[in-house]
Amino acid sequence: MKALTRNTLLALPLALLIYTTVLPHQGHLGWDLLDAFTLAFCFTYVGHWVEVWLLKLPGIETPTGKLVRVLGWFAGGLWCYEVGRWLLVLYGRNTGALPPLMWGGFFFVGLEFVVHGILQSSGKPNFYSGQLRESETRAMR
């Protein structure tokens, strides 16, 4: 429940960023914001599980493991974006004007670097420090 709450709150400002930068406006403001939140939530919540699964790989904190982790972020970003696009199609939205699928991978890698930068600035273990976060270690058990 804690991860769901945290990722929902993280999705709110991310949805505003998506709404103002890449999302085509197709109708009323409320529906467009729902579309943006759907995409943002896919990146934050599904992306959380991508990170948890990657941290289960042995040796993920080694230099080679870090490269695997970034590649895993890219692949996970493709899935996050695809799940979001599927949901928008279920809402009856046209996804033809959205950026290509590949940008989901780049977006998620960038998002992870920003999140881990914030963790580093607050003194918490992160990608840059080479240590697992305690919450991720508990999630792996």
Give the angle subtended at the CA of 136 by the CAs of 86 and 80, to the nearest 5°.
10
Q: Tell me what pLDDT residue 135 has.
A: 47
> 90-112, pLDDT tens digit by residue?
998 888 889 999 999 999 999 99
The DSSP 8-state label assigned to residue 101 in this structure reads: T
Helix 47-55 and helix 102-121: axis angle, to 10°?
70
Q: Tell me what pLDDT residue 23 has.
A: 84
> 22-64, pLDDT tens digit by residue?
888 877 888 899 999 999 999 999 999 999 999 999 989 898 9
Give the pTM: 0.83
